[in-house]
């Protein structure tokens, strides 16, 4: 059973791991990819290595493949925010008409070489938006790197350096085989202290920390600090089983790593395409509670709370209220399990969704689309907007009106028809926060999201300082 942490307590190393941020500062496994040009440079523990005696032989052999990344980004200076009078107190020089409009911001992180021809894995947040990336090796050689590909959903990036000779690299291991309690070793550059080594155990697997839709982190008590981001987490055989990514601020011995199995699956695509395309069915999901179990006649599964128009699920015939119980024969009981199972597949693939509708088993064959950007998913921008006339008709059928009121905090119910579906449920003055788990930011969102749900909707509204969950039945056609 996967557990979760409250998202605000977790700081992705994207916020913490750029430790010097200043204004102006075993053998190769089947997972090894991209392929090496000179296998003799793979680094493995020496033959007589005994981890019970010391980790030093392991660290000495692995260290040359762990790198330090320095990142430079040009940022626009908004001088109006720092008047000359107060500039010196905040670390800024007094501005003048000759001052540049941009300044260089520097950051740092860790990474590791995975092939003799210079491919390096790190975190996306370490190199995101960078204008220049410099990779420093343990022998103090420096290379200007190129970002080959990145995936912000899993916080993984692949960069490339070119050397005149084969480079030392580390093999990728098998994170699925890890057990809680297994020993692990982290090597990185916390706070700019290059090649710092820490050791600990796997504290948990499958952690959901609120970082994104593909949370599946390894938790470890091997000390991870700002600057460790992008660095490797090794098993005692010297194979990488995770990429150190996130920490809990103020927590001691709580760090998180992206499982290397997840990374291995996307390496070829990052190398060839520069990005990762994931499967998408176009639904809103909600986990079963006791009330829904009774209403829908299902004891397990994930409820389809919304089916978006012109998306794969709608074309396959799914409807709000259907309960997804499996994906391609694998049982699912949580929304994130469904999202990950679909996301591991590629656009254009066909999947079989096992579902319950009105208590009866159904199978839907869905040809996957491509998952939109996360911001588009969160805001619902991927849904085609309704024409003004359609939006008005939708709200009339539900029997209420809305308007934008910034002073009230968002979209406000301005009137309710007592005999309509919203009668006795919504009240004038309610602020609509969500519809079918989608955020509402403007009045047009309300009609669009309601129009996408043919079997009723679940709303979150703000009323007299409290948030309420309100279910609206479908309107009569």
Q: What is the pLDDT, as a whole number, of residue 391?
A: 63
Q: Among the options 32, 117, 151, 155, which is catalytic?
A: 155
Q: Among the options 108, 229, 264, 457, which is catalytic?
A: 229
Q: What is the CATH number of the domain that holds 265?
A: 2.40.10.10
Q: What is the CATH number of the domain that holds 390?
A: 2.30.42.10
* 319 is annotated as an active-site residue: no
pLDDT digits over 129-177, tens only?
899 999 999 999 999 999 999 999 999 999 999 999 999 999 999 999 9
Tell me which residue of 70, 69, 75, 73 sits closest to 131, measured CA to CA.
73
* 404 is annotated as an active-site residue: no
Q: What is the pLDDT, as a whole number, of residue 389?
A: 63
Single residue among 213, 247, 270 that ends a domain in this structure: 270
DSSP string, 16-41: H--TT-EE------TT--SPPS-GGG
Single residue among 371, 393, 420 that ends a domain in this structure: 371
* 131 is annotated as an active-site residue: no
Residue 38 domain-assigned? yes
Q: At what angle do helices 443-451 and 388-398 cross, to 10 degrees?
A: 70
Low-confidence ranges of the chain (pLDDT < 50): 1-38, 81-92
- How many C-beta atoms lie closer than 10 Å to residue 470's C-beta? 17
Beta-bridge partners for 331: 326
Cα–Cα dist 418/427, whole Å: 10
15 φ/ψ angles, rounded to the nearest 5 degrees: -95, -30
Cα–Cα dist 210/327, whole Å: 23
Q: What is the pLDDT, as a whole number, of residue 62?
A: 95
Q: Please state, rounded to an integer, the average pLDDT across all residues of the chain.
A: 82
Q: What is the pLDDT, as a whole number, of residue 36?
A: 43
Instruction: Kindly state whether residues 16 and 156 are assigned to the same domain.
Output: yes
Instruction: Kindly state whether residues 260 and 283 are assigned to the same domain.
Output: no
Residue 165 domain-assigned? no
Residue pair 16/226 in contact (Cβ under 8 Å)? The answer is: yes
Instruction: Kindly state whether residues 90 and 145 are assigned to the same domain.
Output: yes
Instruction: Kindly state whether residues 313 and 392 are assigned to the same domain.
Output: no
Instruction: Kindly state whether residues 17 and 152 are assigned to the same domain.
Output: yes
Which pTM does this prediction carry? 0.67
Residue 4 domain-assigned? no
Instruction: Kindly state whether residues 32 and 154 are assigned to the same domain.
Output: yes
Instruction: Kindly state whether residues 355 and 439 are assigned to the same domain.
Output: no
Single residue among 133, 160, 187 that ends a domain in this structure: 160
Residue 332 domain-assigned? yes
Residue 167 domain-assigned? no
Instruction: Kindly state whether residues 28 and 124 are assigned to the same domain.
Output: yes
Cα–Cα dist 187/61, whole Å: 12
Q: What is the pLDDT, as a whole number, of residue 437?
A: 75
Instruction: Kindly state whether residues 80 and 146 are assigned to the same domain.
Output: yes
Instruction: Kindly state whether residues 352 and 394 are assigned to the same domain.
Output: no
Residue pair 169/36 in contact (Cβ under 8 Å)? The answer is: yes
Residue pair 8/211 in contact (Cβ under 8 Å)? The answer is: no
Instruction: Kindly state whether residues 179 and 263 are assigned to the same domain.
Output: yes
Token pair for 373: 């950007």
Q: What is the pLDDT, as a whole number, of residue 225?
A: 87
Angle ∠(149,151,155) on CA atoms, nearest 5: 120
Domain that holds residue 435: 384-472
Q: Quick one: which H or E segment has residue 326?
A: strand 323-327
Residue 378 domain-assigned? no
- Burial class of residue 20 in the structure, from the number of CB atoms within 10 Å of its CB (0-12 exposed, 13-18 middle, 19+ buried): middle
Residue 1 domain-assigned? no
Instruction: Kindly state whether residues 136 and 23 are assigned to the same domain.
Output: yes
Tell me which residue of 170, 174, 193, 190 sits closest to 182, measured CA to CA.
174
Q: Among the options 31, 32, 115, 125, which is catalytic?
A: 125
Cα–Cα dist 353/364, whole Å: 5
Please state the domain count of the chain.
4
Cα–Cα dist 24/106, whole Å: 7
Residue 447 domain-assigned? yes
173 φ/ψ angles, rounded to the nearest 5 degrees: -100, -150
């Amino acid at each position: 059973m996967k557990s979760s942490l409250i998202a605000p307590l977790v700081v992705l190393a994207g916020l913490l791991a750029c430790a010097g941020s200043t204004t102006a500062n075993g053998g190769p496994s089947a997972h090894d990819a991209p392929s090496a040009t000179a296998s003799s440079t793979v680094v493995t523990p020496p033959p007589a290595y005994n981890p019970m005696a010391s980790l030093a032989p392991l660290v000495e052999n692995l260290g040359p493949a762990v790198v330090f990344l320095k990142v430079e980004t040009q940022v626009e200076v908004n001088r109006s925010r720092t008047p000359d009078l107060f500039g010196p107190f905040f670390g800024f020089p007094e501005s003048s008409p000759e001052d540049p409009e941009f300044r260089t911001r520097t950051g740092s992180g860790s990474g590791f070489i995975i092939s003799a021809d210079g491919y390096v894995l790190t975190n996306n947040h370490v190199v995101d938006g960078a204008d220049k990336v410099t990779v420093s090796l343990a022998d103090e050689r420096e290379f200007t790197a190129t970002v080959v590909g990145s995936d912000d959903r899993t916080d993984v990036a692949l960069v490339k350096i070119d050397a005149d000779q084969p480079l030392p690299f580390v093999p990728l291991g098998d994170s699925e085989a890890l057990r809680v309690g297994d020993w692990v070793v982290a090597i990185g550059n916390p706070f700019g202290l290059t090649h710092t080594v820490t050791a600990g155990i796997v504290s948990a697997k499958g952690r959901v920390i609120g970082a994104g839709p593909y949370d599946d982190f390894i938790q470890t008590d091997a000390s991870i600090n700002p600057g460790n981001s992008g660095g490797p987490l090794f098993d005692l055989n010297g194979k990488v089983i995770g990429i150190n990514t996130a920490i809990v601020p103020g927590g001691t011995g709580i760090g998180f790593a992206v499982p290397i199995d997840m990374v291995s699956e996307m390496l070829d695509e990052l190398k060839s395409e520069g990005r990762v395309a994931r499967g998408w069915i176009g639904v809103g999901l909600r986990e079963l509670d006791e009330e829904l179990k009774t209403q829908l006649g299902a004891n397990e599964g994930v409820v389809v709370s919304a089916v978006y128009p012109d998306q794969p699920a709608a074309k396959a015939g799914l409807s709000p209220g259907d309960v997804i119980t499996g994906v391609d024969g694998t049982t699912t009981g949580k929304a994130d399990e469904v999202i990950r199972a679909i996301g591991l597949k590629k656009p254009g693939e066909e999947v079989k969704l096992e579902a319950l509708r009105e208590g009866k088993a159904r199978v839907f064959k869905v040809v996957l689309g491509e998952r939109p950007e996360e911001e588009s998913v969160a805001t619902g921008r991927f849904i085609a907007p309704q024409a003004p006339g359609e939006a008005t008709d939708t709200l009339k059928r539900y029997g209420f009106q809305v308007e934008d009121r910034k002073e009230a905090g968002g979209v406000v119910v301005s009137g309710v028809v007592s005999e309509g579906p919203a009668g006795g449920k919504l009240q004038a003055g309610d602020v609509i926060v969500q519809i079918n788990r989608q955020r509402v930011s403007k009045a047009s969102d309300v009609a669009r999201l309601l129009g996408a749900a043919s079997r009723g909707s679940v709303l979150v509204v703000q009323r007299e300082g409290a948030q309420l969950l309100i279910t609206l039945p479908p309107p009569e056609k």
